[in-house]
């Protein structure tokens, strides 16, 4: 039978071995490249450790280490996709009312990561649940201020941007050590087939209207270009006619000045020439005679075109008594 002293010695030896084992196994830790760690000293959070490799610390319970992943996580809001690819929807979570009082089903993926391990571990009991609640609040707020057309068609990118901004603001206010990297609307749909069909008809009608508008604008632009071309052609022709008329007017003025200068030198001859030229212009086929009456005898000379084949008529003299009826 063992003595009491022997028993105490064995218990002390076992206790020493246990202490040495705790020291040996809790005075070091490793951090992988995809991990980050936070040191806790006597219940107080120290600075995080992100360098990969082997690290040493005081043994437990003086210091302890919590190792977290640095990878990017995905929060699936409104659905759950299993590893084998099966998707389970949660329509109660995704049913929302738009700004124009229509009902849509919207689900979303949020990309996030842990940027402050200490805050992630100790500032909130369940940071993932808080992130999910903040995602629901942000998405419902933005969908509630958007129209159904924007939610279903061309406004998804803007909705995603606004949701990310609002969600990031909420997470920063919660101060739980999480950073939102991106949000992506997975599916925005109408609640049933009848509503979807009606909305499709409305969308098709709107597309047809836009097509007709585009065709009308194209025709208008074409006709406008043609009209502008015709206008330019008319203006160009008018400018040419203007220049021609101005040149013609300058020529007429020069001709008039030349005739006027001659008229000042020989008024009677110029006057008679102008009369003859005017008669020739007004009556181009008339025969003109120059007649002179010097008392008893009248002389006249026909003036014809030099190119005429008719022989000129010699001046005729008549007795004054015949002129007087003798």
Here the CATH number for the domain that contains residue 187 is 3.30.479.30
> What's the DSSP call for residue 125?
S
Is 146 a member of any domain? Answer: yes
Last residue of a domain, one of 138, 173, 191: 191
Q: What is the pLDDT of residue 145?
A: 92
Domain identity same for 160 and 110 = yes
- The rounded distance, in Å, linking the Cα atoms of 117 and 111 is 17
Last residue of a domain, one of 191, 224, 243: 191
Domain identity same for 82 and 144 = yes
Q: In this structure, how many other beta carbons lie within 10 angstroms of the beta carbon of residue 48? A: 20
Domain identity same for 128 and 173 = yes
Q: What is the pLDDT of residue 246?
A: 93
- The rounded distance, in Å, linking the Cα atoms of 290 and 300 is 5
Is 198 a member of any domain? Answer: no
Q: What is the pLDDT of residue 303?
A: 59
Is 214 a member of any domain? Answer: no
Q: How many domains does the chain have?
A: 3
Beta-carbon contacts of 74 under 8 Å, excluding residues fewer than 6 positions away, are 109, 110, 111, 112
Q: What is the pLDDT of residue 291?
A: 64
Domain identity same for 130 and 64 = no
Q: What is the pLDDT of residue 316?
A: 46
Three-state DSSP at 309 gives coil
Domain identity same for 21 and 106 = no
Q: Which two tokens stand for residue 144?
A: 């509630």
Render the burial of 121-131: b for 16+ CB within 10 Å, e for the rest. beebeebeebb
Q: What is the extent of the structural domain holding 15?
A: 4-69
Rounded to 5°, angle at Cα 237 from 232 and 242: 125
Is 231 a member of any domain? Answer: no
Q: What pTM does this model have?
A: 0.56
Could you report the per-residue pLDDT of 93-120, keeping only the tens digit for each? 888 888 888 888 899 999 999 998 889 9
Residues of the chain with pLDDT under 50: 309-326
- The rounded distance, in Å, linking the Cα atoms of 102 and 85 is 31
Domain identity same for 37 and 87 = no
- The rounded distance, in Å, linking the Cα atoms of 266 and 125 is 125
Domain identity same for 64 and 80 = no
Q: What is the pLDDT of residue 306?
A: 52
Last residue of a domain, one of 191, 224, 245: 191
Is 28 a member of any domain? Answer: yes
Sign of torsion over alpha carbons 155, 158, 160, 166: negative
């Amino acid at each position: 039978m063992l003595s009491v002293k022997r028993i105490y010695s064995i218990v002390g030896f076992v206790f020493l071995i246990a202490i040495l084992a705790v020291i040996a196994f809790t005075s070091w830790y490793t951090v992988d490249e995809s991990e980050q760690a936070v040191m806790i000293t006597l219940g107080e959070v120290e600075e995080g450790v992100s360098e990969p490799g082997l690290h040493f610390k005081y043994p437990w319970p003086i210091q302890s280490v919590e190792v977290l992943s640095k990878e990017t996580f995905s929060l699936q809001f409104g659905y759950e996709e299993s590893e084998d690819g099966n998707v389970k929807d949660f329509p109660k979570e995704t049913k929302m009312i738009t700004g124009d009082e229509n009902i849509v089903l919207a689900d979303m993926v949020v990309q996030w990561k842990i940027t402050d391990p200490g805050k992630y571990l100790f500032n909130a009991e369940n940071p993932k649940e808080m992130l999910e609640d903040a995602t629901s609040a942000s998405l419902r707020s933005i969908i509630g201020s958007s129209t159904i057309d924007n939610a279903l068609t061309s406004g998804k990118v803007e909705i995603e941007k606004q949701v990310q901004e609002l969600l990031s603001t909420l997470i920063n206010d919660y101060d739980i050590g999480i950073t939102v990297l991106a949000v992506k609307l997975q599916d925005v749909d109408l609640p049933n087939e009848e509503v979807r069909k009606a909305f499709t008809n409305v969308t098709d009608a709107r597309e047809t209207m836009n097509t007709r508008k585009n065709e009308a604008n194209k025709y208008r632009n074409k006709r406008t270009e043609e009209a502008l071309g015709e206008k330019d052609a008319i203006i160009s022709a008018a400018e040419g006619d203007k220049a021609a008329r101005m040149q013609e007017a300058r020529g007429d003025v020069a001709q008039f000045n030349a005739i006027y200068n001659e008229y000042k030198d020989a008024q009677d001859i110029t006057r008679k020439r102008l009369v003859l030229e005017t008669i020739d212009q007004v009556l181009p086929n008339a025969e003109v005679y120059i007649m002179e009456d010097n008392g008893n005898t009248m002389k006249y000379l026909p003036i014809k075109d030099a190119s005429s084949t008719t022989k000129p008529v010699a001046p005729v003299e008549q007795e004054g008594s015949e002129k007087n009826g003798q």
